[in-house]
Structure 1
Amino acid sequence: MYFYRLQKVLGLDSLDEVLDTKLVNAKHIVQNAYNVNKQGIVTLEDKSKELPHWILSAMKCLANWPSYSDLKQLTYSGFERDVFKTIVDYFGQMKEPLLTYNFFDVFVSVLGLLQKHNKAVEALQISCLLLPPENRKRLQLLVRMMARISLNKDLPPLSESVRTRTLMVQAFSNCILCSKDEMDLDELLAAKLVSFLMDNHQEILYVPSTLKSFIEEHIVHLQKEQVKYAGTYTDATFPSPPFCYQISTDEFEYQRTTGSQEPLAALLEKIAMNKEISLKDKKKQLKQFQKSYPEVYRVRFPTPETEAVLFPEKNKQKPPILMWALKKPFQPFNRTRSFRM
């Protein structure tokens, strides 16, 4: 059975100390295992839970640097760092880590297996299937981006003092694994698990046929016993093959353009609102951006007046008028001869 396999891999006598099975949704396990695309990435039924287009485009930009087709050229020095900061800020504002608080103890239990590569990989394969599908998909996309950035020698350094690989782990560890109580997990331990996940993400986030057989046995067992825990094990049926629906040419063009322009619009706004650079540098960066992406620039600044708001004119005080300046200059008295007739 599925849980028995997890218990065996973790080397535990019981899962009670690390996992509350009432919090496990069997439908999530099935979706994560079977609703996937050709790359093994989870496909979501609820499209509102997808990553925003602009953050997905930003991630693709760095993951495929410098061959990302939507970015023709650098707009200014440090462009790639601003893109990276945008991604870090987005994942940093999540209310819960991707591995969730509910399954925190399960993933912490894997830490003791990191020296045993095969067991650690299998334990993480099973544990990651417990995640809500939207969490698993975001985890897949994030760690894949982290791995590609770490190995990309063409990407300029994203930090002056920290190596790129170390920066990836430092930037995203907390949004992948953390506890409600910050004292429960040492940052170094979290970094080790995230590093292992990043280095082995292709194996860990892949579902082998042997694991699928455990899932099928688990679902059959649930259906036979009709076990339902407060609505968590609800109708765990195997999904039908996913399908695509046709869209119009106009809709496709809209999705393509908005998907690529949103990260650029976000970066333009960042330049416009940046108070840490001089007005001279801001004008220079805006001019460079306008030259490279005139359409995006025109949407944000449709008229010269909207652009002028960023550069308020200083009130030039007129020099005080001195009283003596109002007086006529001294004119010497010219005596003239009088001629008597």
Structure 2
Amino acid sequence: RHEKSMLFHSTPVKPESLEDLWENLSLKPANTPQVNISDSLSRRVINEVWQEQTIARLLQLVDLPLLESLLEHQEIRPQLPQPRKGTGCVITSNYLDREILKAFSDSQTDEWLSAAIDCLEYLPDHMVVDISRNLPDQPDKADTWKLLLFENIGRYYGQKKEPLLSHASEIHSGIAELLVNGKMEQSLEAVQLYLKLLDSQVREEFRRLLYFMAVAAHNSELKLQKESDNRMVVKRTFCKAIINNKTLSRGKTDLLILFLVDHQKDVLKIPGTLHKMVSNKLVALQKGQDPSKITGYTFCQKLDEREYRSNTEKTTKDELLSLLKAIDEDSKLSDKERKRLLGQFHSSNPSIFMQYFGDRVTNMCV
């Protein structure tokens, strides 16, 4: 009863809907025919189209309550270690250590070593120096040095406060659900779209780390830990550096991490569907057409303003009549409570009240 009575006093709330958020990202051309769109679109517009279409396709695959986390994403640009040269072209020893490791990597045909050394660019100087000073001088010590590399890279990423995939973390749950339900193709495309939204520098760091993880996980010649499978060791070591989502269960997090490792060669590719959507939209923008009519997707039925207002009024009226009917016919209500609720309804919606009761209204004491 209390819930029903509250309906008459509730203050209308206008939430920021999915459509409102999406509209802010829209790149529709102006309706006026005087606007000429250049045949050559700017890089900014092209980038915005890529982002818009990536989000559009992602929303077709993963159910998200709101777009806020996608639209409010602020690019994270980590400061990569840069060669530091002082005045007079003095080269620091730290810079030399990095160059020595790079030269060593270039001279190797070992995929494991190359993948590991590529990750060292993100490690602090003191760790790089320690690794550089322990370069193997004999081939039989290579495995020991590899374990040193794995230990240092693992230690650095184990202490990293911000996981690489922290952007729009609710998408993790959607992708994990696809994996749990065995929808592997959709899972892969959703991951590809999600990673496409990463800042370029974060994406590059993720690419290098994931490549190293995949190589280390699937290498049977070097045992990372005696009693454990390499794949499980890699997952435990780097899990929190990739995803540290407290709303995601441990099982789903592990499932997602292993999926990334096992599909390392594919997750950073651009889906063909997205290529087509972007191409269609760019062509439409160049021609001055409404691109939303061409890209082949829509989130709801499109209505003009007059139709929208008409539908809104009809739906509101139907719901109010349904509510009034429920109050009138509810046998559980006492006469006093029914009279009180009807009085509230009459004061706020007299025309609906008159329409429902008709000739009976003269007998209603409200």
| TM-score, L = length of structure 2 | 0.45
> Normalization by structure 1: what TM-score?
0.48
Higher relative contact order (CA 8 A, sep 6+): 1
Higher helix share: 2
